[in-house]
Amino acid sequence: MKRSIVIAIDGTSASGKSTNAKLVAKAFDFVYADTGAMYRTLAWHCLQKKVDVHDPKAVAALCRRWKTSLECVGGSIRLLVDGYFPEREIRTAETSAAVPHVAAVPQVRDWMKKKQRECVRFGNLVMEGRDIGSNVFPDTEFKFYLDASLDERSRRRAAEGVQENLAARDQRDSQRATAPLMIPLGAIVINNSRMTAAETSGTIIEEIKKRLPETR
C-alpha cells in the first residue's frame, strides 16, 4: 500500500498558515487539514458542556469521552462532535479565548496527535498547525515553518477584525510543556512579512516540486 504524502506547514499565529496550506493543497490536489480547527472544536465543546477550560483535569476527562468522527468534505477534513461540525461556533471570540488553555493540556495534545495521524486515510495531506512537523508527522520530508514580524501579524489580525495579544500567544505556545511551538528539524523557514500569499505558497510549491519528480 502506497504511503500518503504529508506536507507539514507550521508557524506562528497570523503567519498565513491556513491561506497558504489551502493554496498548496489545491495546487497538488491534496486534502487539507486544519488542526487548529480541531482544538477549537474541543474548546467549543468544553464551553457547551460548562467545563472550566482552566481546569486541565476536567478538560482531559471530557476529551477522553467525547464522541467524534472525521470526515472529508470538499477536500477539507473536519472533526465532528456527535455528527456535527460547529463551523461558525469555533470562530467566535469566546472560543478563541478558550483555545490556548485547552491546547496546553498534555492529554489533549496526545489525543489530537492520534486523531490527526488518522487523517492519512483520506489520502495525501497538507496539514497546518503548530506541531505538525515536530510532533504529529516528524518523519515527513516536507516541512515548512511560516513566520512574520509581530507588527505584520498584528496588522493581519486587525484586518480580520480580531484583537489578539500575539506576543503573549507566541510565548504560551512556545513555552508549553507538551509539543511546544518550535521550528521542526529540517523545516524550511519562510518569513513572509513582505510576501503575498501567492508568493509564499509559490515558494512552498516550487520546493515541493523539486522533491516530487512526478510533479515536475
| CATH for 35-122, options being 3.20.20.70, 3.40.50.1360, 3.30.1370.60, 3.40.50.300 | 3.40.50.300
Residue type at 89? E
Q: What is the pLDDT of residues 153-188, one digit of tens each?
A: 988 888 887 777 887 887 877 887 777 888 999 999
Q: Which three cell numbers mark 200?
A: 509564499
Q: What is residue 216's predicted lDDT score, i.e. its pLDDT? A: 41
**Equal fold, 1-30+123-211 vs 35-122:** yes
pLDDT for the residue numbered 215: 47
Nearest Cα to Cα of residue 97 among 49, 12, 165:
165
pLDDT in tens, 76-121: 999 999 999 999 999 998 998 899 999 999 999 999 999 999 999 9
Domain positions in the chain are 1-30+123-211, 35-122
Of residues 97 and 45, the one with the higher pLDDT is 45
CATH no., domain 1-30+123-211? 3.40.50.300
pLDDT band at 56 (very low <50, low <70, confident <90, very high): very high
Q: Maximum Cα–Cα distance for the chain, whole Å?
A: 52
DSSP label at 187?
P
Per-residue pLDDT tens for 1-38? 578 999 999 999 889 999 999 999 999 999 999 999 99
Determine the pLDDT at residue 1. Answer: 52
The pTM is what?
0.90
Q: Which residues contact 100 (CB under 8 A, 6 or more apart)?
A: 169, 172, 173
Strands 68-73 and 31-34 come out as unpaired
The mean of the pLDDT values for the chain is 92
| 102 within 8 A of 93, measured Cβ to Cβ | no
Q: How confident is the model at residue 214 (pLDDT cuts 50, 70, 90)?
A: low
Distance CA(95)–CA(45), nearest Å, equals 9
